[in-house]
Structure 1
Amino acid sequence: MKFVKKVTEEEATEYEKEKEEHRLSLKIIFGDDSKVNYEPLSRRFPIVKWEYKLLGNVDTKDMYVYKLTRANGSSSYHGDMQAFLRRLDRQDLNDLYRLVQERFQDHPLEGHDLLLWGDLRMLFDPDEKNELWMNQLDWKLLKWKLHENYGVHTLFMDGTPMEINMLVEKKYSLIKELLEKVLNL
């Protein structure tokens, strides 16, 4: 049995009045230039843990990767800094840097974790007194790439498997000759 409440005329007019007040309180803005982020919610979960682990044996060679775990329990695997830059966004890089900093303060890093720490520190906290920046005349620049989605420049060097990643909004101590090479490429 269904019960139907009879609405009095007074209740109906009060409801219409409230509805009109709510409608008037909404502010509609036309031509807003702000961007809407259509990124799926699954990417919104912050990185909460990272570990360097053996993925498996490929062609009689052990394959090690970084495993990143998100707050929702999902995980992803990345081989090196370039894999991070291809698959992560800027907030993910910030989360990873924060985690590595926290672990570095508690106990010393070694092996590939030390390499990750060095790459992230170079990216976020450049130090012009660092030996890397002091020896720029020895660099042979092969190519240069800009990752636009999170603002990272990558310089690829010859002779060593060296890549230098730099955030766009930070100031790095590049010498004039190297800047000319970058611009020429």
Structure 2
Amino acid sequence: MIIVPEQGMNVEALQTKYPIIDWEIYTEGTRKYWKIIRVGNHTKVHHFFDDMLKAFDMDDLVLALELVKVEFNSQNTDDKEREIWVELKRLFEPDTDDELWKLQKHIHDLTWRLYDSCGVHHVSTEKGIDIYMLVEKEYPLSRGTLTLMLVAKLLVDQDNEMSRELLRKIFMQVERPRR
């Protein structure tokens, strides 16, 4: 038997994505985290929602929402559980009566970031207001907030079509005639 090397053969590592199957609150000392459990008992903990977004894609967000709905409906009242429920619910089911949208009048300085792996953009202020939004959805943003988003510039890891489309979408919302 003779081994002949194949010319031009490219070997790439196969990346396996394990779906989320459960989540729980993980406590270490006084700090609480969301522990995300994937098939094969692959786990990762996240303290902040934006840290979770960096590691998630859209399928992960949808699965997390479904799993959190089940847990939250069982009347758990832990603050960390409520936090993930509120953020995911706002992300997928924006409610114009939500207090978050009324806080926009207090937004004067902001940072705007895109997490393109999951299609979420995030507006944050120094006063602690965080608004997470799916790129494909429209949210009840005021003209002032939309304008500040364009002035602040969108922070991205790399220039891509999603970021350009998001900028066009926000610009078009600012340019709409007032009602």
Q: TM-score range by the shorter chain?
A: 0.7 to 0.9
| 1:176 match | 143
Cα distance, 1:49 vs. partner?
Answer: 1.2
Aligned partners of 1:133, 1:39: CA distance in 2, in Å? 43
Task: State yes or no: 1:40 paired with 2:15.
Answer: yes
Cα distance, 1:134 vs. partner?
Answer: 2.0
Output the amino acid matched with 1:148: D
Aligned partners of 2:14, 2:146: CA distance in 1, in Å? 35
Give percent identity, aligned residues only. Answer: 29
Which secondary structure state, in structure 1, belongs to the residue aligned with residue 41 of structure 2? coil
| Contact in 1 for aligned 2:110/2:125 (Cα 8 Å) | yes
Q: TM-score, normalised by structure 1?
A: 0.70
Aligned partners of 1:39, 1:183: CA distance in 2, in Å? 39
Superposed structure 1 runs of 4+ greater than 4 Å apart: none
| Contact in 2 for aligned 1:90/1:150 (Cα 8 Å) | yes
| 1:155 match | 123
Cα separation, partners in 2 of 1:135 and 1:39, compared to 1, 3 Å: farther
Cα separation, partners in 2 of 1:39 and 1:171, compared to 1, 3 Å: farther
Aligned partners of 2:119, 2:84: CA distance in 1, in Å? 19
Number of paired residues?
140
| 1:98 match | 66
Cα separation, partners in 2 of 1:114 and 1:136, compared to 1, 3 Å: same
Task: State yes or no: 1:117 paired with 2:85.
Answer: yes
| Contact in 1 for aligned 2:26/2:45 (Cα 8 Å) | no
Structure 1 residues without counterparts, runs of 5 or longer: 1-37
Output the amino acid matched with 1:46: P
Output the amino acid matched with 2:151: N
| 1:85 match | 53
| Contact in 2 for aligned 1:139/1:158 (Cα 8 Å) | no
Output the amino acid matched with 1:173: P
Cα separation, partners in 2 of 1:139 and 1:80, compared to 1, 3 Å: same
Residue deviations 1:32-65, cap 9 Å, x none?
xxxxxx8711x2x22111111213x4xxxx3321
Aligned partners of 1:143, 1:51: CA distance in 2, in Å? 30
Aligned partners of 1:39, 1:76: CA distance in 2, in Å? 20
Aligned partners of 1:184, 1:101: CA distance in 2, in Å? 36
Task: State yes or no: 1:166 paired with 2:139.
Answer: no
| Contact in 2 for aligned 1:64/1:79 (Cα 8 Å) | yes
Q: TM-score, normalised by structure 2?
A: 0.72
Structure 2 residues without counterparts, runs of 5 or longer: 1-12, 153-179
Output the amino acid matched with 2:136: E
Aligned partners of 2:66, 2:107: CA distance in 1, in Å? 30
Which secondary structure state, in structure 1, belongs to the residue aligned with residue 133 of structure 2? strand
Q: Higher RCO, 1 or 2 (CA under 8 Å, sep at least 6)?
A: 2
